[in-house]
Structure 1
């Protein structure tokens, strides 16, 4: 049994989500190969070769793979899929974009967002916004799987010595083209990789008020997040959204400020190791999952907390 993990990267660096996906592959058992599809991505392949537990790296390097267009990446995965029993993607925006196309082309059912491996054919995945866990058995000869990265501890980035094999890249599908990318640069940690996250909700009241979270995040070295309500209200950018329809996170410390705790938000952060909530409503659902709760006006409590740190 051989497993193919699709690497998440930016053509320069292997993303941490790949390490969590390799950990899930290790639970299944068997040889683990990693596919790096990109342009000028030799450095990424070299990094993947050092990952603990990886026995081979496949590098498909061509200009048409530079921007991770789903149509082209999916065709590249299918081109090398022949001998693999399992094909694993991280359940990121990119993985969720490519995996369904691969599953459809291979005419198999996709197994989405797994959080545990019981056997090579049986997996667990959350349903109903994480309020229930489904145990799923798949009898397809090839299994296309997306992995909830927060559910698996990352394997070591060093320690492996896999060989890198170059393969011919597929031709451009011609179905889509890259127009542009607007990347916001930040000195803060990436939200999905941060060990500490400070999130604000609708209780912040405005985008201007949201700035009172900056000193707290600076003190803690934290990433900033937001609830869907805060994002919809325009208080915070969309890429800060934590929840079922945003990013799934599981940091060591999650500080929820002015967040009531809607089910869809809890689905994205309730696996955090320690949850701290500040809300003036003592009945807010967020206190039901919080390890530490403070019933107080956030506009008083947050500056006091910053002063005490």
Structure 2
């Protein structure tokens, strides 16, 4: 039994979600091979070889793989898929773009967004915005799986010594073309990999208040900044900040929710956080049901007090 993990990377280094995905693959059992498909990606392959628990790194290096176009990655994976019992990818935009194509071509049912491995053929995944857990058993010869990163602690990025084997990249399919990529540059930690997140909701009242009230707290904590869907829809912050079922799924060490009532779709995206602090003046706010520490107070008074109390 051997599992192929499709690495998410930028050709120079691995993305954090890859380490969580390798952790899930290890729970399946057997050997774990890590595929690095890109161009001038030796740096990413070298990083992959050091990941704890990886037994082999496969490097497919070609110009048509440079931008991670799903059609070309899929074709490269299909050429070697018969050698594996499981093909696993992170449940990120990258993985969600590739895995369904592979499953369709293999004529198997994809198992999406798993949060636990019960056995090599049985997995757990959240449904109904995380209010229920489905246990899915698959008898497919090759199981194509995406992994919710927050469900698994990442493996160590150092400590391994897997050999790197170069494989043939599939020819350019010619059915898609990379045009442009706009990358948001942040001075703060990236939301999905941050250990501390400060999030604001509609209770802040405006984008100006979001900045004035939350930024000093985030600065003191060295935190990333997030938001509820209501705050994003109201135009307080860009879509990149949204935490929730239709935004980003996070599980930091500390999640501070300010002026967030706790709609079900928001809770689905952050309730796996290790410690949750909620500040809200509504004693009936659903966010209090998942909070480890709940402060019923006016956020405009409580947050500045908290900032001044932090060293």
Query: What TM-score does the superposition give when structure 2 sets the normalisation length?
Result: 0.98
Give per-residue Cα distances to partners, 1:220-275, cap 9 Å, x unaligned: 01010111111111111111111111111111100001111000000000011110
Equivalent-residue separation in structure 2 for 1:270 and 1:19 (angstroms):
21
Paired residue secondary structure (1:100): helix
Structure 2 counterpart of 1:296 = 297
Query: 2:51 — aligned with what?
Result: 51
1:63 aligns with 2:83: no
Indicate yes or no: 2:111 matched with 1:116: no
Q: Which residue of the partner structure matches residue 183 of structure 2?
A: 183
Which residue of 2 is the match for residue 130 of structure 1? Answer: 130
Question: Equivalent residues in 2 for 1:173-252 (5 A)?
Answer: 173-211=173-211, 212-252=213-253
SS of 1:186's equivalent in the other structure is coil
Partner of 1:92: 92
Distance 2:304 2:72 in 1: 49
Pair 1:148-2:161 in alignment: no
What SS does the aligned partner of 1:136 have? strand
Cα separation, 2, equivalents of 1:77 and 1:94: 14
* Structure-1 residue corresponding to 2:257: 256
Q: CA deviation at 1:82?
A: 1.7
How many angstroms apart in 2 are the aligned matches of 1:122 and 1:180?
Answer: 39
Structure-2 residue corresponding to 1:24:
24
Q: Please list the CA deviations of residues 135-177 of structure 1 after superposition, one character each: whole Å capped at 9, or x if unmatched.
A: 1100000000001111111111111111111111111111111
> What is the aligned partner in structure 1 of residue 76 from structure 2?
76
* Unmatched 5+ stretches in structure 2: none
Shift of the alpha carbon at 1:278?
Answer: 0.8
Cα RMSD of the aligned pairs, angstroms, is 0.9
What do residues 68-95 of structure 1 show as CA deviations (whole Å, max 9, x unaligned)? Answer: 1111111111122120000000111111
Structure 1 residue 12: Cα displacement: 1.2
Q: Which runs of 5+ in 1 are unaligned?
A: none
Post-superposition, which runs of at least 4 consecutive aligned residues in structure 1 deviate over 2 A?
A: none
**Aligned equivalent of 2:270:** 269
Tell me if 1:6 matches 2:6.
Answer: yes
> 3-state DSSP class of the match of 2:197?
strand
Provide the secondary structure at the position in 1 that maps to 2:125.
strand
C-alpha distance in 1 between matches for 2:261 and 2:188: 25
Measure the CA separation in 2 of the matches of 1:2 and 1:102. Answer: 17
Give distance in 2, aligned partners of 1:229 and 1:301: 21
Deviation of 1:180 (Å): 1.0
CA offsets 1:164-206 (integer angstroms, 9 cap, x no match): 1111111111111111111121121111111100001111211
Distance 1:184 1:128 in 2: 31
Structure 1, residues 264-302: CA drift from partner, whole Å, max 9, x if none? 000000011110011111111001111111111211111
C-alpha distance in 2 between matches for 1:208 and 1:171: 50
